[in-house]
Amino acid sequence: MPLSPNPTLTRTRGAHELRFTLIVASLGREEEVRVLLDSLRSQSYRQFEVVIIDQNSDRRLEPVAADYASALDLIYSTSAPGLSHSRNRGLDRATGDIVAFPDDDCRYPPNLLASVASWFEGHPDYSLLSGRTVDETGRATAARFDTSAGAITRRNVFRRANSASMFIRWSEPLRTLRFDESLGLGSGTPWGSGEDTDLPLRAMALGVTAWYEPGLHVHHPPVDRSSGQQAFSRAYSYGCGTGRVMRLHSFPLDSKLRILVRPLMGALEWGLRGNMNRARYHLAVLRGRARGLGLTTCRDDPKGTEW
């Protein structure tokens, strides 16, 4: 399957070879990181460095990094847990022209970096490019992401920004930009997501332009929407993050209402179908978003049933 149907993503030889810094923050995974590093080793475009931020107290990724040190320009470092905190430590060490944040369980297609370099060479007025995450069959793994390309704005950022498939031109005024460490996995707050959208929102507030290209693919496992306490807790936590970002960035009332109505309708639909586990999943999302918007104070580890 081709990387993208968009001809602007075809590699052209530029006068300047853009260099990437790929920041991989990881906790609790080892074999998945090896899969990612294998995909990076297979990239047709070679101008990049990899910064591994090991959040594990046992430094389990240190031997992994050593195994790939001869094949990749690789920097190994450690950090306290927290996805946004760890990515910020990686940004402190970034030397590339473009920075990216591949998840530790994703995989880059072989021509991805070549296509992204070509796009930035052909679009000097843009500072941020975001694509989609897909599974091995090409099916989108992030729900409700747009299928058409276009500019990223405040109105569509939740349908067009994903940190695992995001690339940022690392130049002024963005070089001092960092993730909000109160958002995202391991933050120690109820806000278990939102760093994906908060960062481009703050970048755009600085006046930079951002573009979404759905043909730009990063392979990533789908989000688990199964039943069980872990899935419900994740749905609630992610919902909290979404609501929190909308509150932080003073989104209008209609936008806030939309993010509440959608999971409510989903819960009603699945409930009428008799699938109470899926209905409870959507209710957990709804409760989290209400918490993030400041409309309620629910406990942080819900079963997906009570308000």
Question: Domain segments of the chain: what residues?
Answer: 7-219, 229-292
Rounded to whole angstroms, the maximal C-alpha distance in the chain is 60
In the chain the beta strands, taken as DSSP E runs, fall at 20-26, 48-54, 74-78, 98-100, 128-134, 150-151, 166-169, 210-219
Beta-bridged to residue 48, according to DSSP, are: 20
Asked if residue 4 has pLDDT above 80, the reply is no
pLDDT in the model for residue 16: 62
Tally of CB atoms within 10 A around 138: 10
pLDDT in the model for residue 270: 94
Give residue 9's pLDDT band: very low, low, confident or very high (50, 70, 90). very low
Q: What is the mean pLDDT of the chain?
A: 90
Cα separation of 99 and 284, whole Å?
33
Asked if residue 302 has pLDDT above 50, the reply is no
Asked if residue 192 has pLDDT above 80, the reply is yes
In terms of pLDDT, which residue wins out, 226 or 146? 146
The first and second tokens of residue 70, run together, are: 């001869």
In terms of pLDDT, which residue wins out, 26 or 136? 26
Give residue 223's pLDDT band: very low, low, confident or very high (50, 70, 90). confident
In terms of pLDDT, which residue wins out, 138 or 103? 103
Q: Is the pTM of this model over 0.85?
A: yes
Fold observed for domain 7-219: Spore Coat Polysaccharide Biosynthesis Protein SpsA; Chain A (3.90.550)
Mean pLDDT of 167-175: 94
pLDDT in the model for residue 227: 59
Mean pLDDT of 285-304: 77
pLDDT in the model for residue 13: 45
Give residue 298's pLDDT band: very low, low, confident or very high (50, 70, 90). low
The first and second tokens of residue 284, run together, are: 């957990």
Beta-bridged to residue 20, according to DSSP, are: 48, 98
